[in-house]
Amino acid sequence: MTKEKILVVEDAPDISQLLKIYFTSQGYEVMTAGRGQQALDMCRKTPPNLALLDVNLPDMEGYDIGKILRQGARTRHIPIIFLTARGEKQDRLKGLGEVQAEYYIVKPFDIEEVHTIVKVALERARQRNLTHPVTNLPTAELITEQYRALLNGSDWALAMIQINGLETFMKAYGAVAGEEVLRFTALLLNDIVNQHGRPEDFVGQPIVGPSFVVTSAPAPMETICEQLCRSFDSEIGKHYEYKDRLNGYISVIDDTGETRQAPLMSLSIGVLTSQDGPFYDIRELSEAAEDVRQRAQIAGRDHGHRSHASFGRA
C-alpha cells in the first residue's frame, strides 16, 4: 500500500525531527523543509498529501507559502495545517481565511492531537476524490476544473498521455513494480513541466487507467511532449531486469496459454490546442484528445516503433 506523504515545513530542528520521527512511526512518508522556497520546490516536484506549515521561517512566512500553493494548478488541492507559535486572533483569521487552511494549531501542541487532525484532513481529501492514490497527482474533480477552464479560455494545449504495456508489465513484475512505474512517470512529468512549462500549467491523473493529463500553452507543450518522449524511452528500461532490457521485450503467457513477446513499455501522447476547436463541452474535449492519442499509438505501431513513445497532434 502506498504511504501518504506529509511535508513538514519547520525551521526549528528539534520540532522538525520530532514530527518526522513520530509521523514516520505512524506509517507516513515524511519530507522536511526548513525554508519556504525549499518547501515550494518540493511541492512542485512531488506534491505531498498534506502540508504542516510553521509561520515564522527564515525566508518567508508560512502564510505566503500557503497562498502560493493555493494559486498553483498542481498544488491548490493540498490540505494545509498551520503549526505555529503565533496564536493571536488575526493570525488565525489569516491562516484559516486568507490561506484557507484546514486547521490552525498553536504551539505548544500535543502530538497525538496533531495526528488526529492530520488523519481527519487526509480523510476529507480522500472523500473529495482530489488526488490519485499512488502518485498523489490531482484527479477527478480537479481535472474537470481544468477542462472547464480550457473551454472558457484561448491559446491552450491539452495533452492526453498513456503508458502502453503497463498491464502486461504488472503481470510479469507485480503490482508494486507497476506502482513504481506510475510514480516514476508522474515525477518525470512534474520535472519536465517545471523545466519547460509555466507556473500555471497542470499535471493530473485520472483514477482509472495508466494515463495522465497536462495542460499548457501550445509552444511549451511541444517542448514538454518531446522531452517526455525522450526521457521516458531512455529511462523506462531501468524498471526491467537486465535480460528483458537487453532483449527489448518480455515473455508473457497469453489467455490461450501460449508464450508471446511483449514490447517494453512506451508512451502514446495526443495533443489538442484551442485552434482545433471549438469544443462545446467537457466530454467532447476529452474524447477528442483521447482520439488523437489513440491515433498516435496506432501510427507508432505502424511505423515499427513498438517500444518507443509516439506523439501526435490533431
Q: Using one digit for the tens of pLDDT, what is the confidence trace for 218-247?
A: 999 999 999 999 999 999 999 999 999 999
Q: Tell me 60's DSSP state.
A: S
Average pLDDT for the chain = 91
Buried b or exposed e, range 194-224, using 16+ CB within 10 angstroms: bebbeeebbbbbbeeebbbbbbbbeebbbeb
Q: What whole-number distance in Å separates Cα of residue 208 and Cα of residue 206?
A: 6
Alpha carbon distance 163, 68 (integer Å):
31
Burial class of residue 6 (count of CB atoms within 10 Å of its CB; 0-12, 13-18, 19+): buried
Which residues share a beta bridge with 161? 212, 269
Mean pLDDT (whole number) for 70-76: 90
Give the residue with greater pLDDT, 313 vs 276.
276
Distance CA 212, CA 189 (A): 9
Min mean pLDDT across 17-21, 80-84, 143-147, 251-255 is at 251-255
First to last CA, the chain: 38
Residue with cell 491515433: 295
Q: Quick one: which of 149, 216, 153 has its CA closest to 189?
A: 216
* pLDDT (0 to 100) of residue 129: 75
Give the Cα separation of 214 and 202 in Å (integer): 5
What pLDDT score does 1 carry?
58
User: Stretch 206-228: mean pLDDT, rounded?
Assistant: 94
pTM for this model (two decimals) = 0.82
pLDDT in tens, 12-61: 999 999 999 999 999 999 999 999 999 999 998 888 999 999 999 999 99
Q: Is the pLDDT of residue 134 over 50?
A: yes
Predicted pLDDT at 133: 86
Residue labelled with grid coordinates 526521457: 231
Q: What would the pLDDT profile of 148-205 be if each residue is shown by its tens digit?
A: 999 999 999 999 999 999 999 999 999 999 999 999 999 999 999 999 999 899 999 9
pLDDT band at 304 (very low <50, low <70, confident <90, very high): very low
